[in-house]
Structure 1
Amino acid sequence: MNDWLSVSGGLRQDYYKVEGKGLVDSSADQSGSHFSKNAGLTVTPLDGLQLFATYAEGWRPPSLREQAAFGAGGLVINPDLKPETSTSIEIGANYLRDGLWRRDDRLRLKLVSFDGKYDDYIIRSRNATGAYTWGNIDQARFKGHELSASYDAGFAFVEGNLTRYDKVEFCNAGSCGLRSVATDYGVMTIPPEMTATLTAGVRMMEDRRLTLGARGYFIGERFGGYVTAPGAVNNPIYYRKNTIVDLFGSYRISDMASFDFSIENVADRYYIDPMAASISPAPGRTGRVSLTARF
Protein backbone atom coordinates (compact mmCIF):
# COMPACT_ATOMS: atom_id res chain seq x y z
CA MET A 1 0.00 0.00 0.00
CA ASN A 2 1.19 3.54 -0.81
CA ASP A 3 -0.35 6.97 -1.37
CA TRP A 4 -1.99 6.11 -4.70
CA LEU A 5 -2.34 2.33 -4.70
CA SER A 6 -3.90 -0.09 -2.25
CA VAL A 7 -4.11 -3.86 -2.70
CA SER A 8 -5.94 -6.24 -0.38
CA GLY A 9 -6.70 -9.93 -0.29
CA GLY A 10 -7.90 -12.64 2.00
CA LEU A 11 -8.94 -16.24 2.49
CA ARG A 12 -11.81 -17.63 4.51
CA GLN A 13 -12.56 -21.22 5.40
CA ASP A 14 -16.10 -22.32 6.31
CA TYR A 15 -17.16 -25.70 7.66
CA TYR A 16 -20.53 -27.16 8.50
CA LYS A 17 -21.93 -30.46 9.69
CA VAL A 18 -25.52 -31.67 10.01
CA GLU A 19 -26.51 -34.87 11.83
CA GLY A 20 -30.01 -36.32 11.75
CA LYS A 21 -31.40 -37.19 15.18
CA GLY A 22 -34.83 -37.80 16.64
CA LEU A 23 -37.52 -37.04 14.07
CA VAL A 24 -34.89 -36.26 11.43
CA ASP A 25 -33.25 -39.48 10.24
CA SER A 26 -29.69 -39.95 9.06
CA SER A 27 -30.57 -39.08 5.46
CA ALA A 28 -30.08 -35.47 6.57
CA ASP A 29 -26.44 -36.13 7.55
CA GLN A 30 -24.13 -33.86 5.63
CA SER A 31 -20.87 -31.97 6.08
CA GLY A 32 -18.47 -29.93 4.02
CA SER A 33 -15.92 -27.14 3.95
CA HIS A 34 -14.87 -24.46 1.50
CA PHE A 35 -12.13 -21.86 0.98
CA SER A 36 -13.38 -18.49 -0.25
CA LYS A 37 -11.05 -15.89 -1.74
CA ASN A 38 -11.35 -12.13 -1.98
CA ALA A 39 -9.18 -9.41 -3.49
CA GLY A 40 -9.41 -5.66 -3.91
CA LEU A 41 -7.57 -2.92 -5.78
CA THR A 42 -7.92 0.82 -5.17
CA VAL A 43 -6.20 3.52 -7.20
CA THR A 44 -6.16 7.20 -6.18
CA PRO A 45 -5.10 9.17 -9.29
CA LEU A 46 -6.26 12.51 -7.88
CA ASP A 47 -6.86 13.87 -4.41
CA GLY A 48 -10.36 12.80 -3.38
CA LEU A 49 -10.90 10.42 -6.31
CA GLN A 50 -10.72 6.65 -5.82
CA LEU A 51 -11.14 4.00 -8.50
CA PHE A 52 -11.68 0.51 -7.14
CA ALA A 53 -12.41 -3.08 -8.08
CA THR A 54 -13.21 -6.00 -5.78
CA TYR A 55 -13.64 -9.73 -6.23
CA ALA A 56 -15.21 -11.87 -3.52
CA GLU A 57 -16.30 -15.47 -3.22
CA GLY A 58 -18.94 -16.79 -0.87
CA TRP A 59 -20.32 -20.11 0.26
CA ARG A 60 -23.69 -20.86 1.86
CA PRO A 61 -24.46 -24.35 3.17
CA PRO A 62 -28.13 -25.35 3.28
CA SER A 63 -30.00 -23.96 6.26
CA LEU A 64 -31.49 -26.33 8.83
CA ARG A 65 -34.91 -25.86 7.27
CA GLU A 66 -33.59 -26.62 3.79
CA GLN A 67 -31.56 -29.62 4.88
CA ALA A 68 -33.75 -31.16 7.58
CA ALA A 69 -37.36 -30.47 6.54
CA PHE A 70 -39.07 -33.79 7.16
CA GLY A 71 -42.73 -33.21 6.47
CA ALA A 72 -43.71 -29.67 7.41
CA GLY A 73 -45.92 -28.42 4.57
CA GLY A 74 -45.32 -31.65 2.64
CA LEU A 75 -41.56 -31.07 2.31
CA VAL A 76 -39.23 -34.07 2.11
CA ILE A 77 -35.49 -34.28 2.65
CA ASN A 78 -33.09 -34.04 -0.28
CA PRO A 79 -29.88 -35.84 0.81
CA ASP A 80 -28.11 -34.59 -2.35
CA LEU A 81 -28.68 -30.89 -1.65
CA LYS A 82 -25.46 -28.94 -2.27
CA PRO A 83 -24.23 -25.64 -0.80
CA GLU A 84 -24.41 -22.46 -2.87
CA THR A 85 -21.19 -20.86 -4.04
CA SER A 86 -21.06 -17.28 -5.22
CA THR A 87 -18.73 -14.81 -6.91
CA SER A 88 -19.21 -11.07 -6.73
CA ILE A 89 -17.41 -8.44 -8.79
CA GLU A 90 -17.71 -4.71 -8.10
CA ILE A 91 -16.13 -1.91 -10.11
CA GLY A 92 -16.64 1.70 -9.17
CA ALA A 93 -15.45 5.09 -8.10
CA ASN A 94 -15.61 7.29 -4.99
CA TYR A 95 -15.26 11.05 -4.95
CA LEU A 96 -14.87 12.90 -1.64
CA ARG A 97 -14.43 16.65 -1.45
CA ASP A 98 -14.49 19.01 1.54
CA GLY A 99 -14.69 22.77 1.16
CA LEU A 100 -16.14 22.62 -2.35
CA TRP A 101 -18.17 25.85 -2.27
CA ARG A 102 -18.07 26.68 1.44
CA ARG A 103 -15.34 26.23 4.01
CA ASP A 104 -17.25 23.56 5.92
CA ASP A 105 -19.27 21.80 3.20
CA ARG A 106 -18.84 18.14 2.20
CA LEU A 107 -19.54 16.31 -1.07
CA ARG A 108 -19.64 12.50 -1.35
CA LEU A 109 -20.24 10.55 -4.58
CA LYS A 110 -20.12 6.81 -5.22
CA LEU A 111 -20.88 4.81 -8.37
CA VAL A 112 -20.68 1.01 -8.42
CA SER A 113 -21.39 -1.64 -11.03
CA PHE A 114 -22.01 -5.07 -9.51
CA ASP A 115 -22.29 -8.57 -10.91
CA GLY A 116 -23.19 -11.40 -8.54
CA LYS A 117 -23.38 -15.05 -9.63
CA TYR A 118 -24.64 -17.94 -7.47
CA ASP A 119 -23.82 -21.50 -8.54
CA ASP A 120 -25.97 -24.39 -7.26
CA TYR A 121 -28.58 -21.82 -6.20
CA ILE A 122 -30.99 -23.38 -3.68
CA ILE A 123 -34.73 -23.23 -4.40
CA ARG A 124 -37.88 -25.02 -3.32
CA SER A 125 -38.51 -27.62 -5.99
CA ARG A 126 -40.30 -30.91 -6.68
CA ASN A 127 -38.71 -34.35 -6.69
CA ALA A 128 -39.47 -37.24 -9.05
CA THR A 129 -42.64 -38.13 -7.14
CA GLY A 130 -43.96 -34.56 -7.27
CA ALA A 131 -43.36 -33.89 -3.56
CA TYR A 132 -41.88 -30.57 -2.49
CA THR A 133 -38.25 -30.57 -1.46
CA TRP A 134 -35.21 -28.31 -1.70
CA GLY A 135 -32.98 -28.53 -4.74
CA ASN A 136 -30.22 -26.80 -6.68
CA ILE A 137 -30.40 -25.03 -10.01
CA ASP A 138 -27.29 -24.29 -12.04
CA GLN A 139 -27.04 -20.54 -11.50
CA ALA A 140 -28.69 -17.28 -10.46
CA ARG A 141 -27.33 -13.90 -11.48
CA PHE A 142 -27.99 -10.34 -10.30
CA LYS A 143 -26.29 -7.54 -12.21
CA GLY A 144 -26.75 -3.78 -12.00
CA HIS A 145 -25.56 -0.40 -10.77
CA GLU A 146 -25.74 1.64 -7.59
CA LEU A 147 -25.31 5.38 -7.24
CA SER A 148 -25.17 7.36 -4.00
CA ALA A 149 -24.51 11.06 -3.51
CA SER A 150 -24.65 13.51 -0.62
CA TYR A 151 -23.92 17.17 -0.07
CA ASP A 152 -23.90 18.80 3.37
CA ALA A 153 -23.48 22.56 3.71
CA GLY A 154 -24.14 22.63 7.44
CA PHE A 155 -27.33 24.71 7.29
CA ALA A 156 -28.80 22.37 4.63
CA PHE A 157 -28.22 18.86 3.28
CA VAL A 158 -29.32 16.55 0.48
CA GLU A 159 -28.56 12.90 -0.19
CA GLY A 160 -29.80 10.26 -2.58
CA ASN A 161 -29.39 6.60 -3.50
CA LEU A 162 -30.38 4.70 -6.64
CA THR A 163 -30.20 0.99 -7.47
CA ARG A 164 -30.91 -0.28 -10.97
CA TYR A 165 -30.85 -3.90 -12.15
CA ASP A 166 -29.74 -4.78 -15.70
CA LYS A 167 -30.11 -8.51 -15.27
CA VAL A 168 -31.97 -10.84 -12.91
CA GLU A 169 -31.59 -14.35 -14.28
CA PHE A 170 -32.11 -17.96 -13.20
CA CYS A 171 -30.59 -20.78 -15.29
CA ASN A 172 -30.92 -24.56 -15.15
CA ALA A 173 -30.34 -27.45 -17.56
CA GLY A 174 -29.18 -25.15 -20.33
CA SER A 175 -32.09 -22.68 -20.29
CA CYS A 176 -32.59 -19.40 -18.46
CA GLY A 177 -35.80 -17.79 -17.27
CA LEU A 178 -38.38 -17.74 -14.50
CA ARG A 179 -39.41 -21.31 -15.37
CA SER A 180 -36.25 -22.44 -13.55
CA VAL A 181 -37.62 -21.13 -10.23
CA ALA A 182 -41.34 -21.55 -10.86
CA THR A 183 -41.83 -23.71 -7.76
CA ASP A 184 -39.82 -21.44 -5.49
CA TYR A 185 -40.96 -18.59 -3.24
CA GLY A 186 -38.30 -16.42 -4.86
CA VAL A 187 -40.33 -16.07 -8.05
CA MET A 188 -42.57 -13.69 -6.07
CA THR A 189 -39.72 -11.55 -4.76
CA ILE A 190 -37.81 -10.42 -7.84
CA PRO A 191 -36.72 -6.82 -7.11
CA PRO A 192 -37.91 -3.66 -8.88
CA GLU A 193 -35.89 -2.65 -11.90
CA MET A 194 -35.20 0.66 -10.13
CA THR A 195 -35.47 1.95 -6.58
CA ALA A 196 -34.29 5.30 -5.28
CA THR A 197 -34.48 7.55 -2.23
CA LEU A 198 -33.95 11.29 -1.97
CA THR A 199 -33.64 13.14 1.35
CA ALA A 200 -33.28 16.90 1.85
CA GLY A 201 -33.46 19.12 4.89
CA VAL A 202 -32.42 22.30 6.64
CA ARG A 203 -30.96 23.06 10.06
CA MET A 204 -32.22 26.19 11.77
CA MET A 205 -32.15 28.23 14.98
CA GLU A 206 -29.22 28.77 17.29
CA ASP A 207 -26.63 25.98 17.08
CA ARG A 208 -28.80 24.48 14.31
CA ARG A 209 -30.79 22.65 16.95
CA LEU A 210 -33.90 22.34 14.74
CA THR A 211 -33.82 20.05 11.70
CA LEU A 212 -36.69 19.85 9.20
CA GLY A 213 -36.68 17.64 6.13
CA ALA A 214 -38.46 15.44 3.63
CA ARG A 215 -37.71 12.04 2.14
CA GLY A 216 -39.00 10.52 -1.07
CA TYR A 217 -39.06 6.83 -2.01
CA PHE A 218 -39.24 6.06 -5.72
CA ILE A 219 -40.25 2.53 -6.69
CA GLY A 220 -40.09 1.15 -10.22
CA GLU A 221 -41.88 -1.83 -11.70
CA ARG A 222 -40.81 -5.41 -11.06
CA PHE A 223 -37.83 -6.49 -13.17
CA GLY A 224 -39.12 -8.47 -16.13
CA GLY A 225 -42.76 -7.54 -15.55
CA TYR A 226 -45.50 -9.53 -13.86
CA VAL A 227 -45.94 -12.50 -16.18
CA THR A 228 -46.48 -15.69 -14.19
CA ALA A 229 -43.73 -18.24 -14.82
CA PRO A 230 -44.95 -21.45 -16.51
CA GLY A 231 -45.66 -24.00 -13.81
CA ALA A 232 -45.51 -21.42 -11.02
CA VAL A 233 -47.27 -22.27 -7.78
CA ASN A 234 -47.25 -18.69 -6.43
CA ASN A 235 -48.13 -15.76 -8.67
CA PRO A 236 -45.92 -12.64 -8.48
CA ILE A 237 -47.34 -9.92 -6.26
CA TYR A 238 -48.29 -6.91 -8.37
CA TYR A 239 -47.11 -3.52 -7.21
CA ARG A 240 -47.30 -0.27 -9.17
CA LYS A 241 -44.70 2.37 -9.77
CA ASN A 242 -44.94 4.69 -6.83
CA THR A 243 -43.52 7.69 -5.02
CA ILE A 244 -43.94 7.85 -1.26
CA VAL A 245 -43.06 11.03 0.67
CA ASP A 246 -42.28 11.38 4.38
CA LEU A 247 -41.71 14.51 6.45
CA PHE A 248 -39.48 14.51 9.51
CA GLY A 249 -38.02 16.82 12.10
CA SER A 250 -35.88 16.90 15.19
CA TYR A 251 -35.39 19.48 17.93
CA ARG A 252 -32.34 19.15 20.15
CA ILE A 253 -33.52 20.36 23.55
CA SER A 254 -30.09 19.93 25.11
CA ASP A 255 -27.03 17.75 24.79
CA MET A 256 -28.95 15.12 26.76
CA ALA A 257 -32.44 15.29 25.23
CA SER A 258 -34.11 15.57 21.84
CA PHE A 259 -37.64 15.65 20.46
CA ASP A 260 -38.31 13.88 17.12
CA PHE A 261 -41.40 13.77 14.95
CA SER A 262 -42.40 12.47 11.51
CA ILE A 263 -45.33 12.06 9.15
CA GLU A 264 -44.88 9.02 6.94
CA ASN A 265 -46.72 8.49 3.66
CA VAL A 266 -47.94 12.08 3.71
CA ALA A 267 -50.23 11.61 0.69
CA ASP A 268 -51.86 8.57 2.34
CA ARG A 269 -51.21 6.48 -0.77
CA TYR A 270 -52.41 2.90 -1.03
CA TYR A 271 -49.41 0.81 -2.08
CA ILE A 272 -47.77 -2.57 -1.66
CA ASP A 273 -44.11 -2.81 -0.75
CA PRO A 274 -41.90 -4.31 -3.47
CA MET A 275 -41.15 -8.01 -2.97
CA ALA A 276 -44.03 -8.38 -0.53
CA ALA A 277 -44.90 -12.03 0.12
CA SER A 278 -48.64 -11.32 0.26
CA ILE A 279 -51.12 -8.69 -0.85
CA SER A 280 -50.85 -6.65 2.33
CA PRO A 281 -50.83 -2.87 1.88
CA ALA A 282 -48.15 -0.79 3.53
CA PRO A 283 -49.27 1.62 6.29
CA GLY A 284 -51.13 4.76 5.25
CA ARG A 285 -50.42 8.21 6.64
CA THR A 286 -48.72 7.68 10.00
CA GLY A 287 -47.56 10.24 12.56
CA ARG A 288 -44.88 9.57 15.15
CA VAL A 289 -43.43 11.60 18.01
CA SER A 290 -40.71 10.63 20.44
CA LEU A 291 -38.71 12.14 23.26
CA THR A 292 -35.25 10.80 23.93
CA ALA A 293 -33.26 11.61 27.05
CA ARG A 294 -29.97 10.37 28.46
CA PHE A 295 -29.16 10.38 32.16
Structure 2
Amino acid sequence: MSKSIEELKSLTTQIRRDILRMVHAVNSGHPGGSLGCVEYFTALYGKVMNYKLPFSMEGKGEDVFYLSNGHISPVFYSTLARVGYFPVEELSTFRKLNSRLQGHPTTHEHLEGIRMSSGSLGQGLSVGIGTALAKKLDGDQSLVYTLHGDGELQEGQIWEALMFAAAKKVDNLIATIDYNGQQIDGSTEHVLSLGDLHSKLEAFGWDVIEEKNGNDLEAVIAALEFAKSKTGNGKPVAIMLHTEMGNGVDFMMGTHAWHGKAPSDAQLESALAQLTLDEVADY
Protein backbone atom coordinates (compact mmCIF):
# COMPACT_ATOMS: atom_id res chain seq x y z
CA MET A 1 0.00 0.00 0.00
CA SER A 2 1.45 3.35 -1.00
CA LYS A 3 -0.44 6.57 -0.39
CA SER A 4 0.55 10.22 -0.28
CA ILE A 5 1.04 11.98 3.04
CA GLU A 6 -2.19 13.89 2.44
CA GLU A 7 -4.09 10.64 1.89
CA LEU A 8 -2.54 9.11 4.98
CA LYS A 9 -3.44 12.14 7.09
CA SER A 10 -7.04 11.81 5.94
CA LEU A 11 -6.84 8.14 6.87
CA THR A 12 -5.80 9.06 10.43
CA THR A 13 -8.94 11.18 10.76
CA GLN A 14 -11.12 8.40 9.39
CA ILE A 15 -9.59 5.87 11.78
CA ARG A 16 -10.25 8.18 14.72
CA ARG A 17 -13.87 8.47 13.65
CA ASP A 18 -14.08 4.69 13.42
CA ILE A 19 -12.65 4.26 16.93
CA LEU A 20 -15.14 6.63 18.50
CA ARG A 21 -18.13 5.18 16.71
CA MET A 22 -17.14 1.58 17.48
CA VAL A 23 -16.71 2.20 21.21
CA HIS A 24 -19.81 4.38 21.47
CA ALA A 25 -22.05 1.86 19.71
CA VAL A 26 -21.55 -0.78 22.43
CA ASN A 27 -20.72 1.59 25.31
CA SER A 28 -17.55 -0.41 25.82
CA GLY A 29 -13.92 -0.32 24.79
CA HIS A 30 -10.70 1.64 25.07
CA PRO A 31 -10.70 4.87 23.07
CA GLY A 32 -7.87 6.76 24.81
CA GLY A 33 -4.88 4.66 23.84
CA SER A 34 -6.44 3.82 20.49
CA LEU A 35 -6.70 7.49 19.53
CA GLY A 36 -3.14 8.11 20.66
CA CYS A 37 -1.68 5.38 18.43
CA VAL A 38 -3.42 6.26 15.16
CA GLU A 39 -0.34 7.81 13.56
CA TYR A 40 1.74 4.75 14.41
CA PHE A 41 -0.72 2.33 12.84
CA THR A 42 -1.22 4.56 9.80
CA ALA A 43 2.52 4.90 9.28
CA LEU A 44 3.13 1.19 9.76
CA TYR A 45 0.39 -0.16 7.51
CA GLY A 46 0.18 2.80 5.14
CA LYS A 47 3.85 3.38 4.42
CA VAL A 48 6.49 1.36 6.22
CA MET A 49 5.60 -2.30 6.64
CA ASN A 50 5.88 -4.81 3.81
CA TYR A 51 2.80 -7.02 4.10
CA LYS A 52 0.79 -9.17 1.71
CA LEU A 53 -2.89 -9.49 0.94
CA PRO A 54 -4.77 -11.76 1.09
CA PHE A 55 -3.77 -12.54 4.66
CA SER A 56 -1.64 -15.58 5.47
CA MET A 57 -1.25 -16.66 9.10
CA GLU A 58 2.31 -17.90 8.49
CA GLY A 59 3.54 -14.51 7.29
CA LYS A 60 6.41 -15.94 5.27
CA GLY A 61 8.27 -13.45 3.10
CA GLU A 62 6.53 -10.46 4.67
CA ASP A 63 6.84 -8.23 7.71
CA VAL A 64 4.55 -9.14 10.60
CA PHE A 65 3.08 -7.11 13.46
CA TYR A 66 1.95 -8.07 16.95
CA LEU A 67 -0.19 -5.83 19.15
CA SER A 68 0.85 -6.64 22.70
CA ASN A 69 -1.45 -4.17 24.51
CA GLY A 70 -4.54 -5.74 22.96
CA HIS A 71 -7.08 -3.48 24.65
CA ILE A 72 -6.45 -0.82 21.99
CA SER A 73 -8.06 -3.17 19.48
CA PRO A 74 -10.30 -0.43 17.96
CA VAL A 75 -7.35 1.29 16.27
CA PHE A 76 -5.99 -2.06 15.11
CA TYR A 77 -9.30 -3.24 13.67
CA SER A 78 -10.00 0.06 11.92
CA THR A 79 -6.54 0.13 10.36
CA LEU A 80 -6.78 -3.46 9.15
CA ALA A 81 -10.17 -2.84 7.59
CA ARG A 82 -9.18 0.45 5.98
CA VAL A 83 -6.10 -1.06 4.28
CA GLY A 84 -8.04 -4.04 2.95
CA TYR A 85 -7.70 -7.00 5.32
CA PHE A 86 -11.47 -7.36 5.80
CA PRO A 87 -14.60 -5.36 4.88
CA VAL A 88 -14.97 -1.97 6.57
CA GLU A 89 -18.63 -2.76 7.26
CA GLU A 90 -17.53 -5.43 9.74
CA LEU A 91 -16.34 -2.68 12.10
CA SER A 92 -20.00 -2.22 13.06
CA THR A 93 -19.91 -5.63 14.80
CA PHE A 94 -17.23 -4.57 17.32
CA ARG A 95 -17.72 -6.28 20.71
CA LYS A 96 -21.10 -7.68 19.73
CA LEU A 97 -22.17 -11.31 20.16
CA ASN A 98 -20.59 -13.67 17.63
CA SER A 99 -18.40 -10.89 16.24
CA ARG A 100 -14.89 -11.58 15.01
CA LEU A 101 -13.95 -8.18 16.46
CA GLN A 102 -13.71 -9.02 20.15
CA GLY A 103 -12.65 -6.49 22.77
CA HIS A 104 -9.19 -8.02 22.68
CA PRO A 105 -7.95 -9.61 19.44
CA THR A 106 -8.28 -13.38 19.29
CA THR A 107 -6.92 -15.83 16.75
CA HIS A 108 -9.73 -18.39 16.99
CA GLU A 109 -12.07 -15.86 15.38
CA HIS A 110 -9.88 -16.12 12.23
CA LEU A 111 -9.94 -12.36 11.70
CA GLU A 112 -7.56 -11.42 8.91
CA GLY A 113 -4.49 -9.59 10.20
CA ILE A 114 -4.57 -11.07 13.72
CA ARG A 115 -1.69 -13.42 14.51
CA MET A 116 -1.88 -13.56 18.32
CA SER A 117 -4.47 -13.23 21.08
CA SER A 118 -3.45 -10.31 23.26
CA GLY A 119 -5.66 -9.92 26.29
CA SER A 120 -3.08 -10.44 29.03
CA LEU A 121 -0.38 -7.78 28.96
CA GLY A 122 3.32 -8.47 28.65
CA GLN A 123 3.32 -11.31 26.14
CA GLY A 124 3.69 -9.65 22.75
CA LEU A 125 7.44 -9.11 22.88
CA SER A 126 8.05 -12.80 23.58
CA VAL A 127 5.86 -13.77 20.63
CA GLY A 128 7.62 -11.24 18.42
CA ILE A 129 11.02 -12.61 19.40
CA GLY A 130 9.93 -16.14 18.58
CA THR A 131 8.73 -15.07 15.15
CA ALA A 132 11.89 -13.07 14.50
CA LEU A 133 14.04 -16.09 15.35
CA ALA A 134 11.90 -18.30 13.11
CA LYS A 135 12.42 -15.88 10.24
CA LYS A 136 16.16 -16.07 10.78
CA LEU A 137 16.03 -19.88 10.67
CA ASP A 138 14.00 -19.70 7.45
CA GLY A 139 16.39 -17.23 5.82
CA ASP A 140 13.51 -14.74 5.68
CA GLN A 141 14.83 -11.17 5.57
CA SER A 142 11.50 -9.63 6.65
CA LEU A 143 11.04 -7.76 9.92
CA VAL A 144 8.88 -8.21 13.01
CA TYR A 145 7.16 -5.22 14.62
CA THR A 146 5.56 -5.11 18.07
CA LEU A 147 3.68 -2.42 19.98
CA HIS A 148 3.51 -2.07 23.75
CA GLY A 149 1.89 0.29 26.22
CA ASP A 150 4.22 2.06 28.66
CA GLY A 151 2.14 0.77 31.56
CA GLU A 152 2.63 -2.70 30.12
CA LEU A 153 6.33 -2.40 30.84
CA GLN A 154 5.45 -2.95 34.51
CA GLU A 155 5.06 -6.64 33.56
CA GLY A 156 8.12 -8.73 34.40
CA GLN A 157 7.88 -10.85 31.26
CA ILE A 158 8.71 -7.78 29.18
CA TRP A 159 12.09 -7.40 30.87
CA GLU A 160 12.93 -11.08 30.50
CA ALA A 161 12.15 -10.73 26.79
CA LEU A 162 14.21 -7.54 26.50
CA MET A 163 17.21 -9.32 28.00
CA PHE A 164 16.77 -12.40 25.81
CA ALA A 165 16.41 -10.44 22.55
CA ALA A 166 19.65 -8.56 23.11
CA ALA A 167 21.56 -11.65 24.29
CA LYS A 168 20.50 -13.61 21.21
CA LYS A 169 21.06 -10.66 18.82
CA VAL A 170 17.48 -10.60 17.54
CA ASP A 171 18.21 -7.74 15.18
CA ASN A 172 15.21 -8.18 12.87
CA LEU A 173 12.82 -6.90 15.54
CA ILE A 174 11.47 -3.37 16.09
CA ALA A 175 9.54 -2.92 19.34
CA THR A 176 7.67 0.35 19.79
CA ILE A 177 6.53 1.66 23.16
CA ASP A 178 3.46 3.90 23.21
CA TYR A 179 4.93 6.34 25.71
CA ASN A 180 1.88 8.39 26.72
CA GLY A 181 2.51 8.38 30.47
CA GLN A 182 -1.00 7.13 31.27
CA GLN A 183 -2.56 3.83 32.35
CA ILE A 184 -5.92 2.73 33.71
CA ASP A 185 -5.29 3.85 37.31
CA GLY A 186 -3.53 7.14 36.58
CA SER A 187 -0.15 8.30 35.33
CA THR A 188 2.60 5.71 34.96
CA GLU A 189 4.76 7.96 37.11
CA HIS A 190 2.24 7.71 39.95
CA VAL A 191 1.35 4.01 39.59
CA LEU A 192 4.87 2.65 39.07
CA SER A 193 7.53 4.90 37.59
CA LEU A 194 9.51 3.58 34.65
CA GLY A 195 12.42 5.82 35.59
CA ASP A 196 14.97 6.56 32.88
CA LEU A 197 13.49 4.15 30.35
CA HIS A 198 15.82 5.18 27.54
CA SER A 199 18.89 4.34 29.60
CA LYS A 200 17.34 1.13 30.89
CA LEU A 201 16.65 -0.13 27.38
CA GLU A 202 20.17 0.71 26.30
CA ALA A 203 21.57 -1.02 29.38
CA PHE A 204 19.62 -4.12 28.36
CA GLY A 205 21.46 -4.05 25.03
CA TRP A 206 18.90 -2.47 22.72
CA ASP A 207 19.39 0.20 20.07
CA VAL A 208 16.99 2.94 21.21
CA ILE A 209 15.26 5.64 19.15
CA GLU A 210 13.19 8.28 20.91
CA GLU A 211 10.55 10.22 18.95
CA LYS A 212 8.98 13.12 20.84
CA ASN A 213 6.28 13.80 18.22
CA GLY A 214 4.39 10.52 18.17
CA ASN A 215 1.22 12.16 16.88
CA ASP A 216 2.96 13.77 13.92
CA LEU A 217 2.50 11.35 11.04
CA GLU A 218 5.60 12.37 9.10
CA ALA A 219 7.74 12.18 12.26
CA VAL A 220 6.44 8.68 13.01
CA ILE A 221 7.14 7.50 9.47
CA ALA A 222 10.67 8.90 9.72
CA ALA A 223 11.23 7.20 13.09
CA LEU A 224 10.07 3.83 11.74
CA GLU A 225 12.19 4.15 8.62
CA PHE A 226 15.20 5.08 10.77
CA ALA A 227 14.51 2.05 12.96
CA LYS A 228 14.48 -0.14 9.84
CA SER A 229 17.92 1.20 8.92
CA LYS A 230 19.19 0.08 12.33
CA THR A 231 18.14 -3.56 11.89
CA GLY A 232 20.65 -6.26 10.96
CA ASN A 233 23.38 -4.77 13.13
CA GLY A 234 23.35 -7.28 15.98
CA LYS A 235 20.91 -5.44 18.24
CA PRO A 236 17.11 -5.37 18.55
CA VAL A 237 15.63 -1.91 18.03
CA ALA A 238 13.25 -0.06 20.35
CA ILE A 239 11.30 3.10 19.61
CA MET A 240 10.08 5.25 22.51
CA LEU A 241 7.13 6.96 20.83
CA HIS A 242 5.78 9.89 22.85
CA THR A 243 2.04 10.14 22.19
CA GLU A 244 -1.00 11.83 23.73
CA MET A 245 -3.76 9.56 25.02
CA GLY A 246 -7.05 10.59 23.41
CA ASN A 247 -5.27 12.60 20.72
CA GLY A 248 -7.58 14.41 18.31
CA VAL A 249 -10.44 14.90 20.77
CA ASP A 250 -9.90 17.86 23.09
CA PHE A 251 -11.83 16.56 26.11
CA MET A 252 -10.10 13.17 26.01
CA MET A 253 -6.53 14.49 26.00
CA GLY A 254 -4.28 15.01 29.00
CA THR A 255 -6.00 12.47 31.26
CA HIS A 256 -6.20 8.74 31.90
CA ALA A 257 -10.00 9.01 32.31
CA TRP A 258 -10.68 7.79 28.75
CA HIS A 259 -8.46 4.73 28.97
CA GLY A 260 -11.50 2.47 29.01
CA LYS A 261 -14.65 4.63 28.87
CA ALA A 262 -17.07 5.16 26.01
CA PRO A 263 -18.37 8.61 25.00
CA SER A 264 -22.03 9.53 25.45
CA ASP A 265 -24.20 10.55 22.50
CA ALA A 266 -23.40 14.23 23.04
CA GLN A 267 -19.69 13.53 23.53
CA LEU A 268 -19.58 11.45 20.35
CA GLU A 269 -21.19 14.28 18.40
CA SER A 270 -18.68 16.75 19.82
CA ALA A 271 -15.74 14.45 19.07
CA LEU A 272 -16.79 13.73 15.49
CA ALA A 273 -17.25 17.47 14.89
CA GLN A 274 -13.53 17.86 15.66
CA LEU A 275 -12.62 15.16 13.13
CA THR A 276 -13.96 16.44 9.84
CA LEU A 277 -13.21 15.09 6.38
CA ASP A 278 -14.07 16.29 2.88
CA GLU A 279 -15.30 12.79 2.11
CA VAL A 280 -16.38 10.85 5.17
CA ALA A 281 -16.43 7.08 4.66
CA ASP A 282 -18.01 5.94 7.92
CA TYR A 283 -19.22 2.36 7.86
TM-score by length of structure 2 reads 0.23
* Structure index of larger Rg: 1
Higher relative contact order (CA 8 A, sep 6+): 2
TM-score by length of structure 1 reads 0.22
* Greater per-residue helix proportion: 2
* Greater per-residue strand proportion: 1
